[in-house]
Amino acid sequence: MFEYLNGEVTAVYPGYVVLDVNGVGYKLTVANPYRYELKQSAIIYVEQIVRENEQSLYGFFDLEEKQLFQKLTSVSGIGPKSAVAILAGNDTSGVFSAIESGDVNYLIKFPGVGKKTAQQIVLDLQGKLEVSASQNSNEIDLSASSQLNDGLEALISLGYSTKDVKKITDKLKESNATTADEYVREGLKLLMN
């Protein structure tokens, strides 16, 4: 129904952003909300998911991310939340490579993806993806400790257990990350190892 929304980011939360488009605030579930800055003018690609008792809008940083989401959700066993968790690492080229090479072990590191589901992803998508990942990020200018907390909350909202996130907190504190986006990326790398 929608291709994209063009507006101003008015709120950033661990699992979603609010985009004001001509006075209407759209709640967009995104893979990594900390890519967006408050008061930032943004074009966010969207996908509307309608379920029996729920309507949701999922937002994407670029068209390539949206297209990968659509392909992932076409796989039996992958719902929107699992697809968003896969996209959160901002490593579309890694996901492409894993699918093309049949690397099931890479795919099972994502929350909600077991061995059978990972095999189904490879079976359904191998040879059907175009590799041209563009890496874009925007930084939020806040204190590092609140950035770390925001990053940790985002990891939990992606489906990782609080116990697992606590295990990597000290390593994240020692990392060179300064923004929530960087903490989420670093956290995902640690959680997937």
The CATH number of the structural domain formed by 66-125 is: 1.10.150.20
Domains 4-60 and 66-125 share a fold: no
**Domain range annotation of the chain:** 4-60, 66-125, 144-192
pLDDT in tens, 167-188: 898 899 888 888 889 999 999 9
The reported pTM is: 0.70
**Which residues have a Cβ under 8 Å from the Cβ of 113 and sit 6 or more positions away?**
78, 82, 85, 86, 107, 121
pLDDT band at 130 (very low <50, low <70, confident <90, very high): low
Distances (CA, A) of 103 to 4, 14, 117, 144, 190: 32, 29, 12, 35, 18
**Which residues have a Cβ under 8 Å from the Cβ of 108 and sit 6 or more positions away?**
114, 115, 118
- For residue 102, give both structure tokens: 């049949």
pLDDT in tens, 76-108: 989 999 999 999 877 788 888 899 999 999 999
Residue range 4-60 in CATH 2.40.50.140: yes
Distance CA 126, CA 99 (A): 6
